[in-house]
Amino acid sequence: MTDTDRRTFVTGAALAAGVAAAAPAIAQGAKPATTPQAAAYPKPPFPVQRQPWPGLASKMNPRPDHGETSYKGSGRLAGKKALITGGDSGIGRAAAIAYAREGADVAINYLPAEEPDAREVIALIKAEGRNAVAIPGDLRDEAFCRKLVEQAAAKLGGLDILVNNAARQQTRPTIADISSEDFDATMKTNVYAPFWLTKAAVARMGPGSVIVNTSSEQAGDPSKDIIDYAMTRAAVLNFTKGMAKQLAEKGIRVNAVAPGPFWTPLQVSGGATPEKQKSFGESSPLGRPGQPAEIAGLYVAAADPALSFSTGQIFGATGGGGQPA
């Protein structure tokens, strides 16, 4: 067999395997996850708006699309038990909706100030006939992180998926403008919390479980005015790759999703200056920011049992921008 023949054989086998994997869903009449046409999504300029940290999606203009009416599941996570931090809004909310529609029971964590958004998510999860658990609290507290995992596992009846998604981002023009308090809050939310949560979750997880971390394109191409945030996204990327190797022998996979610019409360609650907010996402090749609904499928893929050979992987959605290595 020549090299060309081998490549042809491997490619054909991979395509055949993909068709075979999709066949049961097609046979059952399942519909793929869909979002509205990209042309329907808003482009800059956006109205300048400010909210106190951490911000609410329900008060944004335009309001983000998390897949509330567009995401259609096909049972890819049937019977799974998932804990998602930052699950009240933004990317975490989109993942929570998608997970529930893929058949998972879902616990979400959020700050008490985000309760109005969280109530909407809990209602959406319940509407799918899934168990929905709301656990508010501050991830900067190590004791709370341990308690969060314990409560989620108890109320869900186990824990198969941990999504470390919650993050803090505040724009600061120079390093001189980043106070030690600022730096500490960002590090504890974005780096310490995933470490604490992963440590607690691994003790309860068995083979087939998955940890999904949220990184960012900032891990490889940092903006000059969110230096501390970008540092944390690089740390999460490294953490993902290292833990994937460490947990492989336990049968636990670890993957990350690396978003580019996405329209979430992060931007209107201090994550972007008014000037940057107005043109947010304009520099991406697609000329706009992503909507949370457009990345939900990657969080499903990162945890999908069908992708059991995928660990230490980075799933990206940057609108045409580069990916962190």
Q: Catalytic residue positions?
A: 229
Burial pattern 141-178, b for ≥16 Cβ within 10 A else e, equals: ebebbeebbebbbebbeebbbbbbbbbbbbbbeeeeeb
Q: Provide long-range contacts, Cβ within 8 A and 24+ apart, for 231-238.
A: 232/167, 232/186, 232/187, 232/190, 232/191, 233/190, 233/258, 233/324, 234/324, 235/190, 235/191, 236/164, 236/190, 236/191, 236/194, 237/314, 237/324
Q: What is the DSSP string of 48-86?
A: -----TT--GGG-SSPP--STTT----STTTT-EEEEET
DSSP 4: H
Rounded to whole angstroms, how far apart are CA atoms 262 and 292? Answer: 7
- Taking alpha carbons only, the member of 165, 291, 282 closest to residue 216 is 165
Q: What is the DSSP string of 158-188?
A: S-SEEEE--------SSGGG--HHHHHHHHI
Here the tokens at position 220 are: 């490889």
Here the tokens at position 189 are: 């939310």
- Taking alpha carbons only, the member of 213, 207, 208, 204 closest to residue 243 is 213
